[in-house]
């Protein structure tokens, strides 16, 4: 990646692009299992468009970002630094983290909040090959009866839910698609 490449791929019109992206992000967090498209950012490989958009919409100098495994490249670091100013941090200090499920695991290394401040926890952006409304069965707030989502596994997410109201919140990204799984969602094998 050239020096100028870090400067590209941001929001064309930050206030408006961020607003549209956030509404999609908020919708998937409010409705676990629902898949939406976010196309506002063009990050360097290996980040997906959706992961890049999440980072631009939510990260800034106040939020430590952990780049897991293959995501931690000089090009990604430069791009994140230029567009968000977010410090790159270790898992234990992360407010956000991005990477493949394998690279993010074990997720027990990320902060899950405290009993008085359960919000002081990390949100993980899990890069996936594809997202479909199939597989694991989801139940909980935001879901009228049940929903389905192609999670990388179920045990870890069920364990995370057992920590409620502590725990991690997850976004899943593939291409320009995004879905979410907050800690409030109960998960079982589909």
Q: Does 165 bind other proteins (CB under 8 A)?
A: yes
Q: For residue 113, give the nearest of 164, 162, 44 by alpha carbon.
A: 164
- The footprint of other proteins on residues 75-94 (CB under 8 A) is none
b/e code 75-94 from CB counts within 10 Å (16+ = b): bbbbbbeebbebeebebeeb
Q: Does 117 bind other proteins (CB under 8 A)?
A: yes
Among 2, 4, 106, 116, binds other proteins (CB under 8 A): 116
Residue 83 beta carbon to other proteins: minimum distance, rounded to whole angstroms:
12
The span of 2-10, 11-19, 44-52, 148-156 binding other proteins (CB under 8 A) equals 11-19
For residues 181 and 32, is the Cβ–Cβ distance under 8 A?
yes
Query: How far apart (Å, rounded) are the C-alpha atoms in residues 45 and 91?
Result: 21
Per-residue x/- track, 124-163, other proteins (CB under 8 A): ----------------xxxxx-------------------
Q: Is 159 helix (H, G, I), strand (E, B) or coil?
A: helix
Q: Which residues contact 74 (CB under 8 A, 6 or more apart)?
A: 1
For residues 25 and 50, is the Cβ–Cβ distance under 8 A?
no
Q: Does 26 bind other proteins (CB under 8 A)?
A: yes
Q: Does 182 bind other proteins (CB under 8 A)?
A: yes
Residues binding other proteins (CB under 8 A): 14-16, 18-20, 22-23, 25-27, 29-31, 57-60, 62-63, 95, 114-119, 121, 123, 140-144, 164-165, 169, 182-184
């Amino acid at each position: 990646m050239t020096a100028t490449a870090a400067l590209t791929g941001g929001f064309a019109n930050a206030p408006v692009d961020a607003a549209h992206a956030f509404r999609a992000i908020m919708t998937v967090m409010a409705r676990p299992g629902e898949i939406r498209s976010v196309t506002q950012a063009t990050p360097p490989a290996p980040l997906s468009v959706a992961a890049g958009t999440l980072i631009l919409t939510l990260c800034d100098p106040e939020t430590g970002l952990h780049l897991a495994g293959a995501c931690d490249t000089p090009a990604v670091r430069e791009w994140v630094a230029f567009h968000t100013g977010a410090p790159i941090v270790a898992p234990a200090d992360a407010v956000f983290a991005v990477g493949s499920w394998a690279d993010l695991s074990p997720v027990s290394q990320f902060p899950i909040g405290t009993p008085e401040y359960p919000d002081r926890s990390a949100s993980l952006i899990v890069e996936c090959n594809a997202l479909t409304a199939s597989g694991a069965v989801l139940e909980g707030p935001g879901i009228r009866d049940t929903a389905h989502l192609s999670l990388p596994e179920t045990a870890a997410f069920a364990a995370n839910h057992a920590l409620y109201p502590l725990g991690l919140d997850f976004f899943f990204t593939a291409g320009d698609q995004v879905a979410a799984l907050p800690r409030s969602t109960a998960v079982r094998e589909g």
